């Protein structure tokens, strides 16, 4: 969903999250994430690695940006576009972010 349209009081389905659609929601169901609350407090890199393993495919790095965006959102941050997390992802993968 477009981050500008997200209503924090209406988060019943994964598709209600910022930057999520049917495909991403389906992918996360493969790794046991079924409702938005399942993302709170999770490590986005662990989720990314689990998704890569479950699909036997190295996911595009932008998928990690999306995961960063929704975990940060579920941990109380604002709904922001996924590409606003690209710099954080790059720092994290280079070892400078101190934990996703």
In the chain the domains, ranked by start, together with CATH numbers, are 14-93 (1.10.150)
Structure tokens given for 41: 């407090």
Mean local confidence (pLDDT), 1-8:
90
C-alpha dihedral (11, 18, 27, 31), degrees to nearest 10: -60
Q: What is the pTM of this model?
A: 0.88
- Per-residue pLDDT of 49-83, as tens digits, reads 999 999 999 999 999 999 999 999 999 999 999 99
CA distance 57 to 69: 21
pLDDT band at 96 (very low <50, low <70, confident <90, very high): low
CB 89 within 8 A of CB 65: yes
- Per-residue pLDDT of 32-53, as tens digits, reads 999 999 999 999 999 999 999 9
pLDDT band at 98 (very low <50, low <70, confident <90, very high): very low
CA distance 54 to 66: 17
């Amino acid at each position: 969903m477009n981050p500008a349209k997200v209503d924090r009081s209406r988060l019943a389905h994964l598709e209600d999250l910022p930057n999520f659609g049917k495909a991403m929601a389906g992918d996360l169901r493969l790794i046991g994430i079924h409702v938005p609350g399942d993302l709170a407090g999770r490590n986005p890199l662990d989720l990314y690695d689990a998704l890569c393993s479950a699909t036997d495919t190295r996911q595009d790095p932008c998928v990690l940006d999306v995961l960063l965006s929704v975990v940060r959102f579920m941990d109380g941050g604002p709904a922001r576009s996924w590409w606003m997390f690209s710099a954080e992802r790059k720092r994290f993968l280079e070892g400078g972010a101190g934990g996703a």
